Amino acid sequence: MELTTLDYHTAGEPLRIVTSGLPDVRGESMLAKRRFMQENLDHYRRFLMLEPRGHADMYGAVLTEPVTSDGNVGVLFLHNQGYSTMCGHGIIALVTAGIEQSLFDIPDPERVCIDTPAGRITARANLGLDGKTESVSFLNVPSFVLLPDCKLEMEGRAVDASIAFGGAFYAYVDAGLFGLELVPSEVSRIIRLGREIKRLCNRQYAIRHPVGDADLNFLYGTIFVKPLGQVNRSRNVCVFADGELDRSPTGTGVSGRAAIHYARGELGLNETLEIESIIGTGFRVRCVEETTQGQYAAVVTEVTGSAHICGKQYFTLDERDSLREGFLLR
């Protein structure tokens, strides 16, 4: 086994993009391609995401042929537990790498059409005077609030949560309920609480996308939210997959956040939210259009952030290696 990758980061969150060595990922739709990789090529995910080549918080992307007539590329997103349905930080890094490294054909940097398991993403590279990508903005799949008032019992207290979709489903919780400041010294506790909230929500509530494929019907993670004392400025920390902690503000997560605030009347069309990560990096998000998803009111969000290259990697496997499929320590 020999693979090459490009490693980028978006606001601190890694994206390992496979550039060669992976067999064709088959399927007529992106969800079908996702299932094919789960069932037939998962050892490649483990090889790249887990130790000793990756780590508990590694994240990756596999490029595929688009499944739409006007798509520029298809993409599957990988993590320590499996496969995402959409990833905002991944889109930002992918478009940046696509332009900088000519990964796929981009005739128009202002309109990059990307097929994901959650649906079509349309991105725009914001170029500087030197022609380099300063940031990327993308129009996400419709975001909506599924369950605005979830009630959980944790650590002897009542905890309110909202479940919203922004390309994946998340449970949103006020960090102040747990006395969290959402800073790096709290990482272990944030992960523990995030896992428990996800477990409780999955036990008590049915997660169903009103119009999407059944493969979208799962709670991806927990997002803790903390206001920062200014209007439209706050901090997000997301715990997803098997206890992964996002270093970025989470592109799909800020989309769900925007949908929650829009539904509450706290955010209007084209008003920008600035959302920080646990390390102080940021995304901007705004609602640009109203729409619906089945019986639910929804919004189309635009998310903006920046990505940077970390390195180019060549990975190989010694056939005698007993750890060929990797391992995971937290």
Q: What tokens does 9 get? A: 């980061």
Output the average pLDDT for the chain.
96
| pLDDT at 97 (0 to 100) | 97
Task: Give the bridge partners for 290, in sequence order.
Answer: 299
| pLDDT at 225 (0 to 100) | 97
170 close to 87: Cβ distance less than 8 angstroms: no
Catalytic residue of the set 87, 150, 201, 238: 87
Strands 272-276 and 233-240: parallel
Q: What tokens does 235 get? A: 């901090």
**Does the pLDDT value for residue 231 go beyond 90?**
no
**Does the pLDDT value for residue 312 go beyond 90?**
yes
pTM comes to: 0.96
| pLDDT at 7 (0 to 100) | 98
Section 228-236 average pLDDT: 86
What confidence tens digit (pLDDT) does each residue in 50-61 have?
Answer: 999 999 999 999
| pLDDT at 303 (0 to 100) | 98
Nearest by Cα to 85 from 286, 258, 241: 241
| pLDDT at 184 (0 to 100) | 97
Q: What tokens does 162 get? A: 């909202």
What confidence tens digit (pLDDT) does each residue in 163-207 have?
Answer: 999 999 999 999 999 999 999 999 999 999 999 999 999 999 999
What confidence tens digit (pLDDT) does each residue in 54-105 have?
Answer: 999 999 999 999 999 999 999 999 999 999 999 999 999 999 999 999 999 9
**Spatial separation of the C-alpha atoms in residues 70 and 158, rounded to whole Å:** 48
pLDDT band of 216, cuts 50, 70, 90: very high
310 catalytically annotated: no
| pLDDT at 75 (0 to 100) | 98
**Does the pLDDT value for residue 160 go beyond 90?**
yes
Quick one: DSSP state of residue 271? P
**Domain ranges across the chain:** 2-140+309-315, 143-305
DSSP 222-266: EEEEEEEEETTEEEEEEEETTTEE-SS--HHHHHHHHHHHHHTTS
| pLDDT at 229 (0 to 100) | 77
**Spatial separation of the C-alpha atoms in residues 203 and 199, rounded to whole Å:** 6
The CATH architecture assigned to 143-305 reads Roll (3.10)
Residue 21 main-chain phi, psi, to 5 deg: 100, -10
**Spatial separation of the C-alpha atoms in residues 278 and 72, rounded to whole Å:** 33
pLDDT band of 39, cuts 50, 70, 90: very high
| pLDDT at 155 (0 to 100) | 79
* Matching residue, tokens 């005739």: 107
| pLDDT at 230 (0 to 100) | 76
Q: What tokens does 97 get? A: 């790498």
| pLDDT at 325 (0 to 100) | 84
What confidence tens digit (pLDDT) does each residue in 95-143 have?
Answer: 999 999 999 999 999 999 999 999 999 999 999 988 889 999 999 999 9
Q: What tokens does 324 get? A: 């060929």
pLDDT band of 287, cuts 50, 70, 90: very high
Separation of first and last alpha carbons in the chain: 26
The dotted CATH code for 2-140+309-315 is 3.10.310.10
| pLDDT at 330 (0 to 100) | 76
**Spatial separation of the C-alpha atoms in residues 89 and 103, rounded to whole Å:** 17
| pLDDT at 28 (0 to 100) | 97
**Spatial separation of the C-alpha atoms in residues 83 and 116, rounded to whole Å:** 11
Q: Confirm whether 2-140+309-315 and 143-305 share one CATH topology.
A: yes
